[in-house]
Amino acid sequence: MSFVVGDPLDAPAGRPVHVLRGARAVPHSREAARRHIGVDERERLVLLAPGADEDTTSVALVRAVGEALRARGWTVVLPEPVLATGAIRHDLEALRIPLHPLEQYLSAFDLAVAAPGRTVVAELVGARVPSVFLPLRRDRPVEPRAAVARERGLAAGLERFDEAQVDELLDDVADEARRRQLAAACAAVELADAGPLVVQALETAAGAVR
């Protein structure tokens, strides 16, 4: 899990961007991550991540995006949700497997298409995964960090779901040079140890309620 205490992607333009990472298991190598998923290096692998709680996911939008990805030759991985009670049945041909914690397996992917939650934005940027953030959820507006990532060239995405624009974005990131450009932009983001800031935030919160 990547902590985002201090809103690292919300820094004003012109200031360094930091993705704050907590202490978790070391990410798998690309080979090991793909072995867990059950694919080899020849597969063009995309992570389709609608969110931890699929009760809030638009099934129709996830299916539309998944089918568009498959039509472009991608092998789609749809992780089992973190919240077991939130699992729903997606009518989509995809690899449905557990990837917990997600950041351990991000090295396997050539692309990610995700609902931009608070944590996944930081995880994908931190892992240098070329990403497209789309509003696939029914319960909340677009996460501000996703908008900042898009504005700074760290990811692609839309604030509102539009099928024609989604097709244009997916065509754009189908180009390997474009994906390398996004990955290079993410590589310029400084990773920082979140531990001290997390402790500071907890102490501040505790003081506020005394």
For 113-164, what is each residue's pLDDT tens digit? 999 887 888 899 999 999 999 988 765 555 677 888 898 999 999 988 899 9
Between CA 43 and CA 67, with CA 63 as vertex, the angle to 5 degrees is 45
103 vs 18, residue with greater confidence: 103
pTM (global) more than 0.75: yes
Q: How many CB atoms lie within 10 A of CB 98?
A: 11
Closest CA to 101 of 27, 47, 50: 27
Domain 28-189 in CATH 3.40.50.2000? The answer is yes
For 171-186, what is each residue's pLDDT tens digit? 999 999 999 999 999 9
